[in-house]
Amino acid sequence: MAGIDIDGITKNFGRTEVLRRVDLDIRAGEFMTLVGPSGCGKSTLLRIVAGLELQSSGSVRIADTPVDSLRPRDRDLAMVFQSYALYPHLTVGENIAVPLRMRQLKGHQRWPYLGALMPGARDIERAIAAEVGSVADMLDIGHLLARKPGQLSGGQRQRVALGRAMVRHPKAFLMDEPLSNLDAKLRVHMRAEIAQLHRRLGTTFIYVTHDQSEAMTMSDRIAVMMDGAILQVAAPDTVYNDPTDIRVAEFIGSPKINVLPAMVRADGSLAVEDSIIAVEAGAAPGEPVTLAFRPEHALLADPEQAALRGRIAHVENLGSDILVHVRVGESGQPPLVVRTAPNGHRHEIGEKTGIDLSSRLPLLFGRDGKRIGVASARQREAAHG
């Protein structure tokens, strides 16, 4: 178990800059998720930590020791690949044993057939087999040890890949989208299993995914990456409720956060569409900003009294929740989504409705996408006495 410090890593492939000065401190025993859209450089960063790829500049430290000049073998990490990367010619048991055999047996003890006759080889092989057996039992694949990977289902292969990573008790686990080849149901199941595994092993995990729900459900902390840079590193709750950048706010959360262009007025309140939202924005008057709110932080209300008005464009009934899509104003913007509890009221398409935002302060972002402070108007009144 060890912390991993990523310090000013950049990476260029030819002329394209894939990572730009990435800094990330991962604590010992932490489950850190790198999340971001496809192509943002998550895999590249992970491969640099693993030593499979060489950074253009910057350095990686594992347990406070720089590892930049070490081969992957000597960094004492284990990796689970998206494609599982099992050796197709070896049985499940042999696959899991590879990391141990490569490290514990001497070259001549690994010779085919003859190796087992070498002095000491038999004892080591026996210890390895015992280790493989216990890992396999832990992952519930004990009965599959004699099969070839080609004879396994996707989920079973995934477990074998996990077993091969676990068997050596490495300093940290690196996982690159390990669940993306599984079907939706199995993915949710394995999600829980990996999180449980992390709790049981207590080892540092770096987990790469482009699926924000995986990131939200499994991690201690999330690092949101975009275009080769980390935008925010925080606990899932914080990233969700307190995003520092509009791109983070839009990437995390499903359904997506609602955004509306707004204008700061002289008294700090916001002009949105044809109405005024009484808050105090921390931005200069006249500045265009983006107002954002989560679907569950708004309420459907009487159009006459609510901040925003529009017509219902679409209704999604999820059983536990109903997502009401409301088209506000005449603009070509996507409709706003409001999450409501099913209360027997039928929402008709085309029905006029209002959206009430007063239950919670909306999020504000400046023109550069960075978060802007906002206070409630009442506080202001209080402050002004």
Partner 1 sequence: MVDHVLDRPLAEAKPVPATLGRWVQLRQAMAAYALCTPAVVLMIALLVGPILAVMALSLTDYQLGAKSLAFIGLENYVEMFGERVFWISLTNTMIYVALVVPGSVLLGLGVALLIEAGDSGKTFYRAVFFLPVMATLIAMAIVWEFMLHPQFGLVNLLLKLVGMTPQNWLTDGDLALYVLATIGIWQAVGFNMVLFLAGIVSIPRFLYDAAEMDGVPSAWERFRLVTWPMLGPVTLFVVVITSIRSFQVFDTVHVLTKGGPNKATEVLLYTMYAEGFEFFRSGYAAAITVVFLAFVLLLTVVKTQLIDKKVHYQ
Ligand X SMILES: Nc1ncnc2c1ncn2[C@@H]1O[C@H](COP(=O)(O)OP(=O)(O)OP(=O)(O)O)[C@@H](O)[C@H]1O
**Within 13 Å and on the Cβ side, how many CA atoms surround 250?**
14
Its sign, for the CA torsion 207, 209, 215, 217, is: negative
CB of 249 to Mg ion, least distance (A): 23
Q: Does 150 bind partner 1 (CB under 8 A)?
A: yes
Partner in contact with 98, chosen from ligand X, Mg ion, partner 1, none, beta carbon below 5 to 8 Å by kind: partner 1
Pick the closer one to partner 1 by CB: 53 or 242.
53
The residue number whose beta carbon is nearest to ligand X equals 43
Instruction: List, in order, residues 6 or more apart from 200 with CB less than 8 Å away.
Output: none
Partner in contact with 38, chosen from partner 1, Mg ion, ligand X, none, beta carbon below 5 to 8 Å by kind: ligand X
Q: Which of residues 17-46 bind ligand X (CB under 6 A)?
A: 18, 36, 38-44
CA dist 347 to 22, 258, 323, Å? 47, 20, 10
> Applying CB under 8 A, which of residues 20, 147, 148, 311 lies at the interface with partner 1?
148
Rg (CA), the chain: 26
Quickly list H helices, the chain: 42-50, 72-75, 92-104, 121-138, 154-166, 184-201, 212-218, 236-241, 246-251, 377-384
CB of 48 to ligand X, least distance (A): 9
Distance CA 380, CA 385 (A): 8
If DSSP codes are grouped into helix, strand and coil, which group holds residue 17?
A: strand
Distance CA 302, CA 17 (A): 51
Residue 363 corresponds to which tokens in the numbers above?
């999020």
Q: Does 79 bind partner 1 (CB under 8 A)?
A: yes
> Applying CB under 6 A, which of residues 8, 13, 111, 314 lies at the interface with ligand X?
13
Q: Which of residues 251-310 bind partner 1 (CB under 8 A)?
A: none
Q: 298, 346, 355, 304: which is closest to 328 by C-alpha?
A: 355
> Applying CB under 8 A, which of residues 151, 254, 359, 379 lies at the interface with partner 1?
151
Query: Which range touches partner 1 (CB under 8 A), out of 102-110, 181-189, 205-213, 262-270?
Result: 102-110
Partner in contact with 200, chosen from ligand X, Mg ion, partner 1, none, beta carbon below 5 to 8 Å by kind: none
CB of 168 to partner 1, least distance (A): 8
Pick the closer one to ligand X by CB: 36 or 93.
36
CB of 176 to Mg ion, least distance (A): 6
Q: Does 50 bind ligand X (CB under 6 A)?
A: no
Pairing of strands 221-226, 31-35: parallel
Partner in contact with 236, chosen from ligand X, partner 1, Mg ion, none, beta carbon below 5 to 8 Å by kind: none
Pick the closer one to ligand X by CB: 81 or 263.
81
Pairing of strands 172-176, 77-80: parallel
**Within 13 Å and on the Cβ side, how many CA atoms surround 145?**
18
CB of 50 to ligand X, least distance (A): 12
Query: Which range touches partner 1 (CB under 8 A), out of 5-13, 65-73, 268-276, 313-321?
Result: 65-73
> What value, to the nearest 5°, has the Cα angle with vertex 130 and ends 128 and 133?
110
Q: Which of residues 216-275 bind ligand X (CB under 6 A)?
A: none
Q: Does 116 bind partner 1 (CB under 8 A)?
A: no
Q: Does 111 bind ligand X (CB under 6 A)?
A: no
Q: Does 78 bind partner 1 (CB under 8 A)?
A: yes
The answer to whether residues 32 and 220 touch, using CB atoms and an 8 Å cutoff, is: yes
Q: Tokens 């009487």 — which residue?
A: 302
Q: Does 73 bind partner 1 (CB under 8 A)?
A: yes
CB of 101 to partner 1, least distance (A): 9
Q: Tokens 């590879």 — which residue?
A: 98
Distance CA 285, CA 9 (A): 39
Q: Residue 55: how many CB atoms within 10 A of its CB?
A: 22
Its sign, for the CA torsion 280, 283, 289, 293, is: negative
CB of 65 to ligand X, least distance (A): 25
Partner in contact with 44, chosen from ligand X, partner 1, Mg ion, none, beta carbon below 5 to 8 Å by kind: ligand X
The answer to whether residues 159 and 80 touch, using CB atoms and an 8 Å cutoff, is: no
CB of 181 to partner 1, least distance (A): 12
Contacts with partner 1 by CB under 8 A lie at 47, 50-52, 71-73, 77-79, 81, 83, 85-89, 98-99, 102-103, 107, 110, 148-151, 164
